[in-house]
Structure 1
Amino acid sequence: MTTNQRTAKERKHIGYWVVTGLLLFGMVAGGIAQISHVKVNVDGMIRLGYPLYTMRVLGIWKLAGAVVLVLPGYALLKEWAYAGFFFLLTGAVMSHIAAGDTFFQWVAPLIFSILTVLSWYLRPANRRLPSTSVVATEPQSI
């Protein structure tokens, strides 16, 4: 491996942890706020028309997903956590837009949606599922 390749790999690794750290901060802070029924979250859920009990469910799942992303191994659970974050956050963006909220009311879930995709894309090989693709070989004669 050349120095440039090593440097690029190191930059990707650092980028992964920076992006993932920001994502995890948002998911943990949001999860705690939702579980605690912080007033701003309660007001937002009421404005969007969601029942308040969903806050506790979403908060618990955010915290669980954050734990899974930090733990070594559990590649399949990591895929589920990324998918859950992506659906949750893009759903939040769409809910805010559908409710007529301003850009500043839905920019945070949009940013965290982007962080989710970036973290998933930049994740190291040991945090990915093993490849399931079949490598093409010589054509078989019949």
Structure 2
Amino acid sequence: MKTLKIAYWGSTSIIVLVMLYSGFAYLTQPALQQGFQHLGYPGYFRVELGIAKLIGAVLLVVPVSARVREWVYAGFAFTFISAFIAHAASGDPIGNKIGPVIFLAILGVSYAAWVKRSVTEQRTQVA
């Protein structure tokens, strides 16, 4: 149980920190505005995505219903997959493509640990 807790909080902390940083950076750094233009996205999408990342990061650490948490995980998964596809389609170097894949794997660890913890907690409550 302790290993599961460490896996959950370690991986979730990484995702939350990355999303808080990138969400804030999307809203404040001109270089990222140019990056979105390079990928062919409109300016409003950068703002939308930045706000969504900030909200999602908060929702991963506050107590919310399982359904809301599932949607946060799904949203982040879509974000990482879409980032990989966008960088691959624009011909960016491998360094730009590998980051989203790595964070998708970390998100998978967080999600799997969360599901396992939830099941374990339900079994404990029933017993």
Does the TM-score normalized on the shorter chain lie above 0.5? yes
Alignment of 1:40-59 (within 5 A): 40-59=31-50
Q: 2:111 matched to 1:125?
A: no
Amino acid at match of 2:113: L
Q: TM-score, normalised by structure 2?
A: 0.87
Whole-angstrom distance in 1 between the partners of 2:75 and 2:88: 20
Whole-angstrom distance in 1 between the partners of 2:51 and 2:92: 26
**Higher RCO (C-alpha under 8 Å, 6+ residues apart):** 2
Q: 4+ runs of 1 displaced by more than 3 Å?
A: none
Higher helix share: 2
Alignment of 1:1-142 (within 5 A): 9-36=1-28, 38-123=29-114, 124-125=117-118
Whole-angstrom distance in 2 between the partners of 1:115 and 1:86: 10
Provide the identity percentage.
34
- Looking at CA atoms only, which structure, 1 or 2, has the larger radius of gyration? 1
Whole-angstrom distance in 2 between the partners of 1:63 and 1:25: 10
CA RMSD of aligned residues (A): 1.6
Q: Which blocks of at least 5 consecutive residues in structure 1 are unaligned?
A: 1-8, 131-142
Which string of whole-angstrom CA distances, capped at 9 and with x for unpartnered residues, describes residues 34-61 of structure 1? Answer: 122x123112101100011111100111
The alpha carbon displacement at 1:106 in A equals: 1.8
Amino acid at match of 1:35: L
The aligned length equals 119
